[in-house]
Structure 1
Amino acid sequence: MQTQHQIHLSLQIIPRDQHNVSRKEISPNALRVLYRLREGGFGAYLVGGAVRDLLAGGHPKDFDVATDATPEQVKALFRNCRLIGRRFRLAHVVYGREIIEVATFRANTDDGSGDRELHEGGRLLRDNVYGSIEDDAIRRDFTANALYYAIEDFSVRDYTGGFEDVRNRLLRLIGDPETRYREDPVRMLRAVRLAAKLGFEIEAATAAPIPHLASLLSEAAPARLFEECLKLFLSGHAVESFLGLERHGLLPALMPESAAALKSNRSGALRKMLLEGLKGTDERVANDEPVSPAFLFALLMWPAYCRALMELQAQGVHAAEAQRRAADRVTVHQLNMIALPRRFSLPMQEIWLLQSRFSQRQRKRVFRLLAHPRFRASFDFLVLRQAASDEHAADVAFWREVQDKPGDEISAQLDAQTSHEEAEAPRRRRRRRRGAPASGE
């Protein structure tokens, strides 16, 4: 672990007339917490993402407070406060649906109390040794996150050069990048996510170790990686996040089978479809429309599923059985890395398995598919597949038309189609359709 002396620390106070953080943009409840702490005789600062986003011209939704009051002292000041966490003990001050998170300044050294615990690989397991604001600034991850807005004079306190980095739209780790990534490998994903969200560039020395440390992600808790994936892809910057994972060599570590499938797909159709889907996800988030994690992971894991399916079919496995086995294999392998809950993994598999049924036109099967609870998501997925391959155009047109028709009209249409096909049959040899995805997809 780095010591305070290894990191250059220099306090710069940016007065109110030299920055754009305004109390009008800060949650009234966060202001209440800051003022109450000050009245109680404690230091109180708005800190981290909210200050960073406000300086960068954004509109933060979450407001975190840092203080020299211990969690117990914070609880004594607020009746609406609960203490949470073991790894990092925090105070949550609750105002209806809004939670203001209050963290006590953390120290950067072990005081021998046993409240700071490191894994032998350098990973931080527990960190409840309290210290000064300077200590707290050093142990934050990026300089842009180590900015403190002081309620007593409305200034911004900067100990690590973060104010200048935000102005230059640069994401820089505090201290030695390799050491900081070893402490917490998820920081590599955070770097990509924040750069995508803010439109920042990852500073060269901060970016350099990522490709050769990417494999450390396997040490992170799979449940934590699932949460980080949701932040990467469901915050409105999914396309940029995906491109960042590719650029910095993190995709093979996070989604090994999909990364391998994308690499071997020479036509680039799979990647085209994936990016089209992520673009749609970003548009839905921007319009405040819901996005299902099941649909998101169906999209992200589809390249792996297609590849597994082709391998099984090449071994002579029957199409329907190959589809089931491919879906199971991809899900189980990915679960080793990312803990995708069953409430998402099962619908994800259904979306895949229903794809082969869109080419069927038998009356019973058409009505059964239309009644399926996963029909809408599966049809949306088929539309995305069309972005990668024109071969799905006829299926998309048919299902787009029938889903809004009454049942008797659909029956009449299918009967007419059957009669036409029977009349045409002697003149041409019917082409047998296969339900499995095409190899170029």
Structure 2
Amino acid sequence: MPIRIHQSDRLCVQDFFPDPHFTKPAADSIGPVIVRRAEHTLSRSHIAAPALKVLYRLKAANYQAFLVGGGVRDVLLGLQPKDFDVATNALPEQVRATFSNCRLIGRRFRLAHVHFGGHIVEVATFRGAGEQGDDAVLVDERGRVLRDNVYGSLEEDAWRRDFTVNALYYSIEDFSIHDYVGGMADLQNRVLRLIGDPWTRYREDPVRMLRAVRFAAKLGFSLETHTAQALRELSGLLTDISPARLYDECLKLFLGGHAAQTFTLLREHGLFAYLFPATEAVIRREGEQGPTARLLLQAMVNSDQRIAEGRSVTPAFLFAALGWGPLREVLDECIQAGMSMAQARVEAIQRAEAAMPVLPPRRFRTPMQEIWQLQPRFEFTTAKRAKALLRHPRFRAAYDFLLLRGHGGEVPEALQTWWTEFQVAADEAREVLLEQRPESLAKAPPSRRRRRRGPRRRPEGDVTS
């Protein structure tokens, strides 16, 4: 069903965005676009029961209550929202007083979390247009907002949000949608647009650059010209973000079911180089059709397919793929320098991890390292070692990674086929396969050259008969 927009005579959504950058019109010069209940597709049946309870209880307590953000956006697009957020004029302490099952969180942005069993409804007080000198606002020298707890009106809150399609407010009062920033028009046109000047908004919070790419990939939207232009110019700001926060954002980027398109957009807009600089450097040396680029794209495609099928994807496997290109180069260098395979693996893993600004926590980093460590054992082993590798608890993940490397052109098809058959074969069939193993399996692992020693000198006074 197409979305129909009811506009007042004094408002046109195109007026919100003069070229090249727009400034917010005076508050008394415009009013919201009101999309009446009969003119949109969002109904209370689409809203999760806990969110409805929050909306109705706030209304009963004489507060304004609106559903806002991705929940409204996704329902209007025919998608299933992950969660529903609520915006209100009630202060955080008033929300806590209204709900016994409420906890207040956050220093940078004070929020209320209302708990219903394992379900959490996030409730935010309308944000206002605070100035840098306010005690509740803290901005660093680069324009990044470190703290912002200035409260305001519904309209002010709309102008403080990130993207126009995320600033649509569903009213529990009359079930209409309030649009102050042209979000309904952008939703129709499938355009992702930052509210305000993109250069300023990205500086306020550089993670918005990653959110722009993530939403564009998820929704299949195009990025508005200035929203996209500022990405490449300001991508270096990502170096100011903590590794822990970047890790959380990477999980959203690559484990949301749209990893392949996200990976493509991150590289297109120059952001991937600041998340994984060593990997980007390898891709540039090898070319877009080189083994690292092909391996990574296939890893993303496989992850999307698993998520679509309802299967899990571990960050360990994802980060093993993201770090493999640099590790492979270091591994080859170490072996050429005369190191043993065991020493080369340790050195390569240490240097590969040191080159990754974003790393998973230890519980995922250990299996990631094991996936890497097992790869040479697929190619250089004896019959005894082949059976031992098969019994390794990380064999399946390492085998899947072997096939991924094969897709990139690193592993001969014969070796992939041999391991595929060997792991499912009965004992007798395995013995036959061991006799017919590919040439690479017949090789011994490279060993470090040992310095030739001369004859041992006898201590003085040593007499032999």
Same fold (TM over 0.5): yes
Q: Distance in 1 between matches of 2:226 and 2:446?
A: 49
| Aligned with 1:120 (options 128, 141, 148) | 141
What are the within-5 Å matches in structure 2 for residues 202-281 of structure 1?
202-266=223-287, 267-281=289-303
Matches for 1:57-96 after TM superposition, within 5 Å: 57-96=78-117
Q: Deviations over 1:175-232 (max 9, x none)?
A: 1100111111111110000000000011011100111211110001111100100000
1:295 partner amino acid: F
Mapped pair 1:366 → 2:386: yes
1:247 maps to amino acid: E
CA–CA separation in structure 2 for the residues paired with 1:307 and 1:111: 48
Which residue among 413, 427, 432 is the counterpart of 1:413? 432
Paired residue type of 2:230 = P
Q: Distance between the aligned counterparts of 1:391 and 1:27, measured in 2?
A: 48
The amino acid across from 1:201 in the alignment is S
Q: Tell me the distance in 2 between the aligned counterparts of 1:39 and 1:385.
A: 59
Q: Does 1:54 align with 2:75?
A: yes
Counting aligned pairs with the same residue, the percent is 51
Find the aligned partners of 1:86 and 1:358 in 2 and give their Cα distance: 50
Secondary structure, aligned partner of 2:256: coil
**Aligned residue among 299, 305, 322 for 1:283:** 305
**What do residues 63-89 of structure 1 show as CA deviations (whole Å, max 9, x unaligned)?**
000000011111111111111111111
The 10-residue stretch of structure 1 (409-418 or 361-370) with the greater mean CA deviation from structure 2: 409-418
Letter in 1 for 2:345: Q
Please identify, of 50-59 and 230-239, the stretch whose mean Cα deviation from structure 2 is larger. Answer: 50-59
Distance between the aligned counterparts of 2:222 and 2:417, measured in 1?
Answer: 42
CA separation of 1:9 and 1:178: change in aligned 2, threshold 3 A = farther
Question: 1:32 matched to which residue of 2?
Answer: 53
Corresponding residue number in structure 2 for 1:178: 199
Q: Give the count of matched residue pairs.
A: 423
Tell me, in whole angstroms, the C-alpha distance in 1 between the residues paired with 2:372 and 2:263.
Answer: 21
Counterpart mapping for 1:151-166 below 5 A: 151-166=172-187
Contact 2:23–2:196 (Cα < 8 Å) also in 1: no
Report the CA distance between 1:357 and its aligned residue: 0.6
1:416 deviation in Å?
A: 4.1
CA drift at 1:321: 2.1
CA separation in 2, counterparts of 1:78 and 1:350?
Answer: 47
Query: Could you tell me how far apart the structure 2 residues matched to 1:285 and 1:4 are?
Result: 40
Alpha-carbon offset, residue 115 of structure 1: 1.7
- 1:16 matched to 2:37? The reply is yes
Question: Structure 1 residues 11, 389: CA separation in 2 closer, same or farther (over 3 Å shift)?
Answer: same
Aligned partner of 1:394 in structure 2 is 414
2-structure distance, mates of 1:108, 1:222? 30
Which amino acid in 2 is paired with 1:41? N
Amino acid at match of 1:47: V
Q: How many angstroms apart in 1 are the aligned matches of 2:191 and 2:429? A: 57
CA distance in 2, matches of 1:283, 1:390: 23
**Residue 317 of structure 1: how far off its partner (Å):** 3.8
Report the Cα offset of residue 405 of structure 1: 3.5
CA contact (8 A) 2:127 2:157 kept: yes
Tell me: CA distance 1:254–1:211, structure 2 relative to 1, closer, same or farther (3 Å). Answer: same
Deviations 1:78-135 (A, max 9, x none): 1111111111111111111111100111112138552211111100111111111111
Decide whether the 8 Å contact of 2:418 with 2:433 is kept in 1: no
1:260 alignment partner, SS class:
helix
Letter in 1 for 2:101: N
Does residue 325 in structure 1 map to residue 344 in structure 2? no
CA drift at 1:152: 0.9
8 Å CA contact retained: 2:406, 2:413 = yes
Structure having the higher helix fraction is 1
Counterpart mapping for 1:125-204 below 5 A? 125-204=146-225
Deviations along 1:152-176, one digit per CA (max 9) or x if unpaired, are 1111100110110011110000111
Tell me: CA distance 1:185–1:284, structure 2 relative to 1, closer, same or farther (3 Å): same
Task: Measure how far apart 1:151 and its partner are.
Answer: 0.8
Q: Which of the numbers 307, 322, 337 marks the counterpart of 2:329?
A: 307
Q: What SS does the corresponding residue of 1:66 show, helix, strand or coil? A: strand
Q: Is the 8 A contact 1:118 1:124 kept in 2?
A: yes
Name the Cα RMSD after superposition.
2.4
State the shift of 1:431 in Å: 8.0
Q: TM-score, normalised by structure 2?
A: 0.86
1:367, CA displacement in angstroms? Answer: 2.2
- Unpaired runs of 5+ residues, structure 1, are 422-429, 437-441
What residue in structure 1 maps to residue 459 of structure 2?
Answer: none
The alpha-carbon distance between structure 1 residues 339 and 389, as it changes in their structure 2 partners (threshold 3 A), is closer
SS at 2:104 equivalent: strand
SS in 2 for 1:208: helix
1:353 matched to which residue of 2? 373
Distance 1:111-1:326 versus aligned 2 partners, 3 A rule:
closer
User: How far off is 1:308 after superposition?
Assistant: 2.5
SS of 1:224's equivalent in the other structure is: helix
- For the residues of structure 2 that align with 1:405 and 1:6, how far apart are their CA atoms? 74
Residues 33-73 of structure 1 deviation map (CA, whole Å, 9 limit, x = unaligned): 10110010000000011111111221102000000001111
Judge which range, 313-322 or 360-369, deviates more.
Answer: 313-322
Distance 1:177 1:18, change over 3 A: same
> Which is further off, 256-265 or 397-406?
397-406
- In 1, Cα distance between equivalents of 2:339 and 2:434: 33
Q: Pick closer, same or farther for the CA change 1:161–1:10 going to 2, 3 Å.
A: farther
Aligned to 2:363: 343
